[in-house]
Amino acid sequence: MREIDQTTTDEIRSIVYDYFSEECDVPRKGLSDATLIVADLEGDSLMLLALLDIFRKKYGLTIELKTLGKHLMKRPANTIGQVVELTVALVRFGNDIVDQEL
Amino acid sequence: MTSSTRSCEPRDPVLGCGVDCEELARFAPMLAAETHPMPLVFTRAEVDHARSLPSPARALCACFCAKEAVFKALGAPYNFTDCELFLSADDTAELRLSPSLAAEHGVGGATVEILDVEEADGAVMAVVVLFASPVAP
């Protein structure tokens, strides 16, 4: 398990917000933790996989898609806030995320 | 949309079918750099093969659509690199599932159709049917 400090959490949040703002052509001020990725932004799986790839490169994530998929079946990430929480958990736990009670 | 209708002799039971459609334009930027795009999704062999074709973005788009369609057909998450799609020069598609993925889900065979969606101004659709492994008599 990797320790995550507040600076890293803030950095992850900033990357997620900037990503959805740019990809969905929505001003960052128009986004909040409650913004729904599919219903509000017309986001899709390719968008989320591309975001995962950004974090894979930045933090050296070694998560498997199968593991991530199993986790998402238990705890879906429907909003921007949930994507931030998920990413923090991915950086913290990696492939062990599926065993965590988050 | 270009499409085809086929008939065939009954074969092994259908495990599931899946369909996915994506826009080509989203895949061109991934191939702009010489790096391996999204290695959790695409294998090196798929990327190299796509780059060798006249329309690399279309080939990579077809790969992604096929992987998503297989996910829908399986009804369960899997590692996308366990499923590869290769388009040939005459545009026939070959879908390869890893032995471990096929064994885990009892897949004995698969068919895939790659269709160009002309109405969507540059989109590709993949239709995948997975068949169960034959049961010994």
Distance from CA of A64 to the nearest CA of B (A): 6
Pick from A46, A49, A66: which is nearest to B79 by CB?
Answer: A66
pLDDT tens per residue across span B88-97: 888 899 999 9
Could you give the CA distance from residue B18 to residue B68 in angstroms, rounded to a whole number? 8
Could you give the CA distance from residue B30 to residue B111 in angstroms, rounded to a whole number? 27
**How far is it between the farthest Cα atoms of chain A?**
36
- Residue A14 domain-assigned (yes or no): yes
In this structure, is the dihedral angle defined by the CA atoms of residues B37, B41, B44 and B47, taken in order, positive or negative? negative
* pLDDT at residue B4 tops 80: no
pTM to 2 decimal places: 0.90
pLDDT tens per residue across span B12-63: 799 999 999 999 999 999 998 888 999 999 999 999 999 999 999 999 999 9
Contacts of A52 in chain B (CB under 8 A): 40
- B22 near A CB under 8 A: yes
pLDDT given at position B133: 84
Distance from CA of B104 to the nearest CA of A (A): 13
Q: A45-62: buried (b, 16+ CB within 10 Å) or exposed (e) per residue?
A: ebbbbbbbbebbeebebe
Rounded to 5°, the CA angle A51-A54-A56 comes to 110
* Contact indicator for A37, A82 with CB cutoff of 8 Å: no
Mutate which of B40, B61, B72, B104 to test chain A, going by most A C-beta atoms within 10 A?
Answer: B40
Provide the CATH topology of domain B14-132. Ribosomal Protein L22; Chain A (3.90.470)
Among A21-35, B64-78, B84-98, B112-126, name the one with the lowest average pLDDT: B112-126
Domain boundaries, chain B: 14-132
pLDDT given at position B2: 47
Domain with A46, as residue range(s), is 6-94
pLDDT given at position B9: 60
Give chain A's domain count.
Answer: 1
